[in-house]
Amino acid sequence: MANKNKIIFWIAAVVILLVAGGSVYFVLRLANNNTNATATQQVRYIDTGVEVTSTAQVSADPASIFRLNLNGQNLTAVPPGVFQMKNLISLNLADNNLTGIPSTIGNLKNLQVLYLGGNKLTSLPNEIGNLPDLWMFSLYGNQLTSIPSSIINLKRLKVLGLTGNPIAQSSAAMAALRKELPKVQIN
| pTM of the entire predicted model | 0.71
117, 96 in Cβ contact below 8 A?
A: no
162, 137 in Cβ contact below 8 A?
A: no
Q: Choose among 80, 12, 91, 102: nearest CA to 53.
A: 91
> What pLDDT does residue 41 have?
31
> What pLDDT does residue 164 have?
92
Query: Which fold is adopted by the domain 52-186?
Result: 3.80.10
| DSSP conformation letters of 106-164 | GG-TT--EEE--SS--S---GGGGG-TT--EEE-TTS--S---GGGGG-TT--EEE-TT
Task: Give the mean pLDDT per block of 10 residues along the chain (187 residues).
Answer: 60 47 30 31 42 61 82 90 89 95 94 96 95 94 92 92 89 86 86
CB contact set of 166 (below 8 Å; sequence gap of 6+)? 143, 144, 145
91, 111 in Cβ contact below 8 A?
A: yes
Burial of 113 from C-beta contacts in 10 A (0-12 / 13-18 / 19+): buried
> What pLDDT does residue 9 have?
58
Q: Where are the domains of the chain?
A: 52-186
